[in-house]
Amino acid sequence: MRTRLRTLRIGERDFTWRATIGHVAGDGVDLHRCVRVRVWGDGKNGRALEADLLSKAMSVGWTPAATDGSYPVPADVRRLVEHALTLGWDPGARGGTCWLTEEHGLELPGFLITDRVRDPEAPDPTERVIRASGR
């Protein structure tokens, strides 16, 4: 499968981004859709921005990930980039990755940021999705 790169212009800079669909396990048997977004602001050698987005969709079926079609839109990526820039992300720096994590407190209309993909001890995604839905 081919990776699709998209572009987004913020101010005077063009950003290139991609989103990779995956899943993240809850503490029980639930799997939730998780989309890893990677953004470059100065080519692939520049410091990238990454965030793992946990879908807030309360899908039906054996696992929420099985029927969840959530995918970030350019407005979501714009919010990620703008938030990271206010935190000091320098896309022109060479090498490395700037991670947006749960502690940054950013919430998008259809997504929460999760650390569970990289840290199995991070908060349970199922609990977080239920709280975000207000149930």
Instruction: List the domain boundaries for the chain.
Output: 6-133
Please report the pLDDT score of residue 62 as a whole number: 60
CA distance 91 to 100: 14
Q: Could you report the per-residue pLDDT of 96-126, keeping only the tens digit for each?
A: 999 999 999 899 999 999 999 999 899 888 8
Q: Which residue has the tokens 């981004």?
A: 17
pTM: 0.89
Intra-chain end-to-end CA distance of the chain, in Å: 37
The residue-averaged pLDDT of 68-91 equals 94
Please report the pLDDT score of residue 42 as a whole number: 87
Strand intervals (E) in the chain: 6-10, 13-25, 31-40, 48-55, 97-99, 111-113
Q: Could you report the per-residue pLDDT of 14-39, keeping only the tens digit for each?
A: 999 999 999 898 887 788 889 999 99
pLDDT classification of 44: cutoffs 50, 70, 90: confident
For 34, list phi and psi in degrees, rounded to 5: -135, 130
Q: What is the per-residue burial (b if ≥16 Cβ within 10 Å, else e) of 79-91?
A: bbbebbbeeebeb
Please report the pLDDT score of residue 60 as a whole number: 61
Higher pLDDT, 66 or 93: 93
CA distance 71 to 32: 13
